[in-house]
Amino acid sequence: MGEMMVEVHTARHIADRTWRFLVQRNLVDPPDRLPARPLFYVLPRRERVILAFDPLALKSVDRLLSPRTLHHLSTALGGRRVVTMNSRGVFFQIAYWPTPSAPLSSQPLDLAQQPSPLHVPIGVTKKGPLWLSLPEMDSVLIGGSRRMGKTRLLHGWVQALLHGGEAMLILWDGKGGVEFGRYADRPGVVVDPSDGREGLERVFAEMSRRADLFQQGGVPSLPEYVRRTGDRLPPLVLILDEVAFLPEEAQEVLTDLVAKGGAFGVYPVLATQRPDAQAVKGLVRANLSTRIAFPVPSVHDSMVILGRPGAEKLPKRKGRLLLIWEGRLVEAQAFRVSLPDAGAVRPEAATLLTGRERRLVEAAVRLGGWFRIRQVAEVTGESRDWVNKVARRWEAMGYLTPVQVNERGHRLGRRVTEGLLQAAGFGGQANLADEAD
Ligand SMILES: Nc1ncnc2c1ncn2[C@@H]1O[C@H](COP(=O)(O)OP(=O)(O)OP(=O)(O)O)[C@@H](O)[C@H]1O
Ligand SMILES: [Mg+2]
């Protein structure tokens, strides 16, 4: 009985606060111009109150129901969850109590839990461990602030797909293979050390080959092709980390792959800190159906990644993420993933460079694999003159690419090669990035 009283009281508070919010936001007419009948009816229920709106009193149902409005309303209501319904009337369901961010435990990745060869690990949700299959997710965009766990999540996916043993993997990390080089000798894996175009071209070629196969066989889709021919074309997973570093020229191929890949068993997975217009073209982004956001600083970032607010409110904890999948928002704590040592490291390699030179390489890696004289000099505190000399020597030795120039003739700088990384003893890439923590 006492509980009921509290709920009625809370329902009134919520209704009152919501009403003021709607007036302030100009979503309904001000009080003196409101019709005589109420704006909404207040229906207290167990655990939640329902507000049933009079649609005629609303200025714009679309604006009222937009994710942005609902997010701000939820904030105005102290973090209470607001769920809407817009069938046979407009309803808000508002929880009496704010939902605390779930206290999610951090668990190590256990590949033995993989439900199928194409399932990849997401993390621990409030309902328990979550794995999703790539065909279900189709194509994925991952965003989030630096060092929050994007690449580590991808490592988990690569390891799971290798464990499953069915998919072919094309991996590109925007850092000349620093991250994914360690998987290069595994069967079914191609690590693209180029500026990203080689890998993309390769996948594109395979997609075209499959398109021809389907056309010859008169089949519309991969499952149908496999069913009729028994020829099991392996799913192709294209993982691009740091897509912001892809050259302009690669964007066109990428657009095509992302738009059509699904039909040919090609699953693109793209990660970047901020997938804004420059990093991921709108057309590409629009076609990436599954979205994952690690913590970000602003609502705007969350909108760019997820298409709705939320990621800015995540606890700033490594591995914490929000996933949009089948229209639902799921919070998870990504599994802890350990990294295998790369097979290709030569122990004596580390002695090839001096400590001073190694610090230049390290700086370039941190700068995304670009060896730009001015930046590298700045980061390491070395003189530009010396850095420039080293760069020219390394270019001659094949340790750095020649200066890359974009279409518009802008000099982009030299790129670090796998050879340089090995010479620097980072061939193991043994947590080069981790040392920065
Ligand atoms: N799920 C996790 N649980 C615990 N620690 C994690 C998790 N994910 C990442 N970390 C830690 O955070 C560090 C940074 O992670 P990661 O390199 O994946 O970040 P990132 O988002 O890719 O960063 P950047 O934008 O700089 O590439 C890792 O080296 C690891 O130590
Ligand atoms: Mg990363």
Distance of CA 249 to the CA centre of its chain: 22
Are 74 and 82 within 8 A, CB to CB? yes
Which pLDDT score is estimated for 110?
96
Ligand 1 centroid to residue 373 C-alpha, Å: 27
Place of tokens 């439900």: 115
For position 1, what pLDDT does the model report? 42
- Determine whether 57 is exposed, middle or buried from the number of CB atoms within 10 Å of its CB (0-12, 13-18, 19+): middle
Instruction: Report d(CA 357, CA 425) in Å as an integer.
Output: 11
Query: Residue 132: which residues within 8 A CB-CB, separation 6 or more?
Result: 119, 120, 122, 290, 325
* Residue 294 Cα: closest atom of ligand 1: 21
Distance 259 CA to ligand 2 centre (A): 24
Q: How distant, in Å, are the alpha carbons of 278, 358, 361, 384, 415 from that of 355?
A: 36, 5, 10, 18, 20
Q: Which amino acid is residue 409, in one-letter code?
A: G
Q: How many Cβ atoms sit within 10 Å of the Cβ of residue 178?
A: 24
Distance CA 265, CA 237 (A): 8
Residue nearest to atom 8 of ligand 1 (CA): 149
Residue 297 and residue 234 in contact, taking contact as beta carbons nearer than 8 Å: no
- For ligand 1, the distance from its centroid to the CA atom of residue 39, given in whole angstroms, is 48
Residues in the chain with pLDDT < 50? Answer: 1, 343-351, 428-437
CB atoms within 10 A of CB 393: 12
Residues with CB under 6 A from ligand 1: 106, 144, 146-152, 273, 318-319, 334, 336, 433-434
Q: Which of 104, 318, 323, 431 to mutate to test the pocket of ligand 1 (most atoms within 8 A of CB)?
A: 318
Q: How far apart are CA 222 and CA 213, in angstroms?
A: 10
CA of 417 from ligand 1 middle (Å) equals 23
pLDDT at 351: 42
List the domains of the chain with CATH numbers. Answer: 2-95 (3.30.1240), 111-333 (3.40.50.300), 347-436 (1.10.10.10)
